[in-house]
Chains A and B, each alone.
Chain A
């Protein structure tokens, strides 16, 4: 439907829209956090401070539900960063999208004659380049987060809990080794693709509803509301799964 603004630099392809949106997400999260923690107070917290304290407590409870808090307190910051980054990222694509229409080839963002012809065949005036979207609607970004989480979980297991960690690959019998490996790989894929799928599908459906014009207003409102819910749930799911995977690898018991 839309194509991405791909820039080639030093022989590498960069997806400009994802990079821009990641930076936007980063700035929004930082702004919220900085505003909320500007005037910290022990006895008389502001509304925003209360809000971020609620986030901290929420993530703490979430971690406490998966592992012993003595070990879990180190991951509070990770959980907060994950949930805020993913939630804000999920919300960004909902209110609007920025799309540019190109009738002339623009090599710098990979708009070629071919892609313009393609779009014209489908009845558009030119190639559509998508600039504003949820960064989490990009599989490269969500897989990046998933790789980080899975790598962290396995590193912690290997470094802190070596014997139990290695032993669990041959549980309950060495013949199960391939299955256990598949299980670990599938964790990586499901973690990244679940987030991507939910958010990407949400944006695609918004695009589809927009095609309905005036008749799409009511469904659009409903779907936007539902997307807020989905975005919040996915941020929560990603964070709690992160903690579950970490706890599985660092816990001694089975």
Chain B
């Protein structure tokens, strides 16, 4: 084992040259690339964080909107339930009223018809009785006077019949 200082000096020079070349042409650019990547990743992370926040906010908004919609739907259903039951009642009561009215009208009609029929019958009976009386008596009497007598008679008998 000998010590040659020339080797020492050469090693130092070689090391210096290697250091210079490596830092200038190899690891300098490499480290700048690594730094760029670090910045890139940080940007991406920040972007992802931002997107996440936005997504969360949107989700929150969506949730609120759904809640709102649900509430509104519930209200609408309640409203329509109320309205429909009220409408049903209305329809029923209207129908009842209509039915009552129709009934009353019908009764009135019946009454009218009855009265008319009675009146007609009265006239017919009067005429018939005049004709009968004419036949029986063989003589003409004043038709209007006859009518009055018949009416009076019928009135009395009708009154009796009613009683």
Contact surface of A with B, Cβ cutoff 8 Å: 4, 6, 12-15, 18-19, 22-23, 25-26, 29-30, 33-34, 36-37, 40-43, 49, 52-53, 56, 76-78, 80-81, 84-85, 135, 138-141, 143-145, 147-148, 200
Separation of A56 and B28 alpha carbons in the complex (Å): 11
A81 and B25: CB pair below 8 A? no
B27-46 vs A, Cβ < 8 Å mask (1 yes, 0 no)? 10111011011001000000
From residue B16, how far is it (CB to closest CB) to chain A in Å? 9
A140 and B3: CB pair below 8 A? yes
A33 and B26: CB pair below 8 A? yes
Beyond known contacts A33-B26, A141-B8: 6 more, CB 8 A cutoff = A14-B4, A15-B4, A41-B33, A81-B19, A140-B8, A144-B12
**Closest residue of A by beta carbon distance from B36:** A42
A56 and B37: CB pair below 8 A? no
Q: A41-B33, A81-B18, A85-B15 are in contact. Are A18 and B7 (CB under 8 A)?
A: yes
**Interface of B: prevailing SS:** helix
Q: A30-B18, A42-B37, A81-B18 are in contact. Are A148 and B12 (CB under 8 A)?
A: yes
**Total cross-chain contacts (CB, 8 A):** 116
**Interface of A: prevailing SS:** helix
Q: A37-B29, A37-B30, A145-B15 are in contact. Are A81 and B22 (CB under 8 A)?
A: yes
Contact surface of B with A, Cβ cutoff 8 Å: 1-12, 14-15, 17-19, 21-23, 25-27, 29-31, 33-34, 36-37, 40
